């Protein structure tokens, strides 16, 4: 069975194949851990806050590749400790966010078990470009 492309069939949406792949990649969401908030911090600013209680700065990594912001956490297993009950999970996680064009990561901070990632949208310049029209026929040889 083949899937119908979301953007590929509309004649006015040319070159949006990458966007379709981003939508598919985002749809494969993780299990909901860790919980997070996304808030607007200004007219062009955003903040993603993840609840990462128990994770140290060295247990966390943030990468940006091809407009995908990836936050990963991995805690080392405590050695020499015997738990009678383990209700606080020390599990690894991976949380992905797809950023739009012009959205840049401004920085990240860890405070009181909350990881904050600040984002800023840059306003693109409005560029008008004139395309030269050539006359005559081209040889296809």
pLDDT digits (tens, 9 = 90+) for 94-120: 999 989 888 999 999 999 999 999 999
In this prediction, residue 83 carries a pLDDT of: 86
Lowest mean pLDDT among 17-21, 52-56, 128-132: 17-21
In this prediction, residue 15 carries a pLDDT of: 73
CA dist 125 and 39 (Å) reads 25
| Residue 79 or residue 112, greater confidence | 112
Q: What CATH architecture is 32-76+90-121? A: Sandwich (2.60)
| Residue 140 or residue 94, greater confidence | 94
Residue 57 · residue 80 · CB < 8 Å? no
CA dist 100 and 108 (Å) reads 18
Q: Where are the domains of the chain?
A: 32-76+90-121
What is the helix (H) or strand (E) element at residue 50, kind and residue range? strand 45-51
The pair of three-digit structure tokens given for residue 137, joined into one six-digit string: 């026929």
Q: Give the contacts of 48 (CB within 8 A, at least 6 positions apart).
A: 36, 37, 38, 69, 71, 97, 116, 117, 119
In this prediction, residue 57 carries a pLDDT of: 95
Predicted confidence (pLDDT) per residue in 27-77, tens digit: 665 568 899 999 999 999 999 999 998 899 999 999 999 889 999 999 887
In this prediction, residue 140 carries a pLDDT of: 57
In this prediction, residue 50 carries a pLDDT of: 97
Torsion of CA 61, 66, 69, 74, to 10 degrees: -30
In this prediction, residue 27 carries a pLDDT of: 62
Task: Judge residue 52's burial from the number of C-beta atoms within 10 Å of its C-beta, 0-12 exposed, 13-18 middle, 19 or more buried.
Answer: buried
């Amino acid at each position: 069975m083949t899937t119908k492309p979301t953007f590929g069939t509309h004649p006015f949406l040319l070159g949006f194949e990458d966007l379709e792949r981003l939508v598919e990649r985002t749809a494969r969401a993780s299990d909901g851990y860790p919980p997070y908030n996304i808030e607007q911090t200004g007219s062009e600013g955003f903040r993603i806050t993840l609840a990462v209680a128990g994770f140290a700065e060295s247990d966390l990594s943030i990468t940006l590749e091809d407009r995908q912001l990836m936050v990963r956490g991995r805690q080392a297993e405590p050695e020499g400790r015997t738990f009678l009950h383990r209700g606080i999970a020390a599990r690894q996680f991976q949380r992905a966010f797809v950023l739009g064009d012009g959205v840049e990561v401004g920085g990240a901070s860890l405070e009181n078990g909350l990881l904050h990632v600040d984002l800023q949208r840059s306003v693109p310049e409005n560029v008008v470009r004139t395309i030269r029209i050539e006359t005559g026929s081209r040889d296809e040889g």
